[in-house]
Structures are given as C-alpha cells and as structure tokens.
Structure 1
Amino acid sequence: MSFGKIVAALVGVAVVAVGIGVGATWWLMKGGSAIASAEAAPVPEEELPPVDDRIYKYVSLEKVIVMLRGVEGEPAPHYLALDLVFKTPEKQERIAREQMPLLRSVAVKELSTLTMDRAGKMTVEELTATMNKAFSDRYARDRQERPFVDVMIGKLIVE
C-alpha cells in the first residue's frame, strides 16, 4: 500500500470519527438519554435564587450595515458596519432580546443620516453617545423603559 493511500485512509477514519462524535453530542444535547433529560428538568421558581439588579448580561446586535451618504459623483459607495452590545440587567435580558428588531431599526435610521466624511471623523465615543441618544429618544417617544442601561460598540468598520 502506498503512502498516499494510507494518508487517505487515515483522513477518512478521522472524518468518520468526528462525525460520530458530533452526532452523539447532538443526540445527547437533544435529550436522547434519561440522564440528560433528568438534568434538564426545570427548577421550580421558589427554588431559584433571587435576581440581583447589579448582575448584567450582554446582548449582541450584529451586522448593522448602512450605506453612507456621499458626495454626488463619487465613484464608489461607502458603508458603515458595526456590532452593538447592550448591557442589560439580568431580569430584562429577555425583553432586550425580543426588541432586537426595534433596536436594529433605530440604529439603521440614525446611522443612515451620516455622510462618509462625518462618519470617518467620529470617534467610537462620539458614535456610542449618538447611538445612546437615539435609543433614549425612541424609548422616551414610546413612553417605555429601556431594557438596557448602556449600548457599546463591539465592532466598527467605515469604508
């Protein structure tokens, strides 16, 4: 048997072994055994520890992309892409996650007003302040409490 055939056979065995491992993990995570389903049993609410308002979760809103307004006659379009991270109290995490479409819409509306020149000159702190103000204004207009205490920028690309 040649060296190439031996390597091909070993790679094939490795791929099958990984596939079996992934399949078994999926089956167990899905609840394929009595042990897994017993561990996943819900804990009655009276046994849960109280939620501390000082415990925060971080909820991501990824890939907010907008075309930036440019000068008429520019050869190439410009865009801004960013990932937002919302710092939310643990007890309001579910609400924040449910409101992601609203948060994306507010972010796109605010960012789409920027020109390439303005976006390129803004610091991360200025852009964060702009986003916080946009979200605060929207929730004030809707007369709702924000389900997060702060918005941060996780990734920013201006091109």
Structure 2
Amino acid sequence: MTIKTWVMAVSLGMAVAAAGATATWFVLKGPQHKATAEAPETVAQDKTVYKYLSVDKVIVMLRDPADSAQPHYLAVDLVIKVAAEKEAETKEQLPLLRSIALRSLSNYAPDKARSMTVDQTTAALNKAFDEDYVHSHSDKPFKTALISKLIIE
C-alpha cells in the first residue's frame, strides 16, 4: 500500500465517521429542537406576569417527644409566586402565610424534618396553604410557595 492510498483510506474513514456522528447527533437531538420550537407557543398562551414576595425568617421550634430537654429549630425563608394583579392582596395576607407555615412545620419531629427533601417540605407547605384556604372558603391569592432557604438545627 502506498502512502497516497493510505492517506486516502484514512481520510475516507474519517469522513464516514464524521457523517455518522453528525447523523446520530441530528437523530438524537431532533426531538429536543422540535420541543424547543413548540415551547414559545406554550409560553405565549400563558401571559400572566408573576411577582415574587419574600417571607423571611420563619423560625419553628420542632417537637421532639424523645428528647424534650434539647430544643430543635427549623428556619425557613419562603418566596411566594403571585400574579401581578394579586400582589397587593397577597401582601396583606403575608402574616397569615407565616402563621400557616409555622403551624404546619411545627408538627414535625427533628428526625422527620431532617429526612425530608426541600421538594417534600415545599409540597407539605403548599398542601397546608391549600387546605387552609379551602377550610376558610376563600380563594388563594397566590400560585405557589417556594423555599429559598431551609436550615434545621
């Protein structure tokens, strides 16, 4: 085999490999491009402008039936996602939201609170908010509550 033939064979092999890699990339990434193209239509349908309100430093003393002499605390900062037109109404209810969060989180034992993920704690808080608003027969003025800081001592 001459050097010229060898160089052509290697070049042809590299071109085939590059074409295969490109084809694979397009096959694997194709649906994501389609989903990305559809995403603006979905976003365009929801024209709600959201604001975010802070509820800082909700400090909760956790109950510990096994070791009542040692206090355990949980500190959480919340972010309330609210539609812009409901911002004033939600601001008026921030003390209520702080109270509901305190009541909900104080039921946890320290071990249970430590074992929960942030998502589980967020879900428990949102469930407590939903239940309180259903119980009081009023509409919840915000979309959801998020946790921006969680400390368990």
Q: Does 1:149 align with 2:113?
A: no
Moved over 2 A (4+): 71-76
Q: 1:110 aligns with which of 104, 107, 110?
A: 104
Counterparts in 2 of 1:1-159, with a 5 A limit?
Answer: 54-73=48-67, 76-159=70-153
How far is 1:70 from its partner? 1.4
How far is 1:104 from its partner? 0.8
Could you state the TM-score of these two structures normalised by the residue count of structure 1? 0.65
How far is 1:77 from its partner? 1.0
Q: In 2, distance between residues paired with 1:145 and 1:105?
A: 17
Q: In 2, distance between residues paired with 1:120 and 1:127?
A: 10
Give aligned pairs, total. Answer: 108
Q: In 1, distance between residues paired with 2:74 and 2:91?
A: 23
How far is 1:100 from its partner? 0.8
Contact kept? 1:84, 1:151, Cα under 8 Å: yes
- Structure 2 stretches of 5 or more lacking a match? 1-45
- Residue in 1 that maps onto 2:25: none
Q: In 2, distance between residues paired with 1:100 and 1:121?
A: 28
**1:152–1:73: structure 2 CA closer, same or farther, 3 Å change rule?**
closer
Contact kept? 1:65, 1:108, Cα under 8 Å: yes
Q: Point out the structure with max Rg over C-alpha.
A: 2
- Structure 1 stretches of 5 or more lacking a match? 1-51
The alignment yields a C-alpha RMSD, in angstroms, of 1.5
Higher percent of residues as helix? 2
Could you state the TM-score of these two structures normalised by the residue count of structure 2? 0.67
How far is 1:74 from its partner? 5.3
Q: In 2, distance between residues paired with 1:74 and 1:83?
A: 26
Contact kept? 1:66, 1:112, Cα under 8 Å: yes
Give SS of 1:113's match: coil
Q: In 1, distance between residues paired with 2:82 and 2:134?
A: 18
**1:53–1:142: structure 2 CA closer, same or farther, 3 Å change rule?**
farther
- Residue in 2 that maps onto 1:9: none
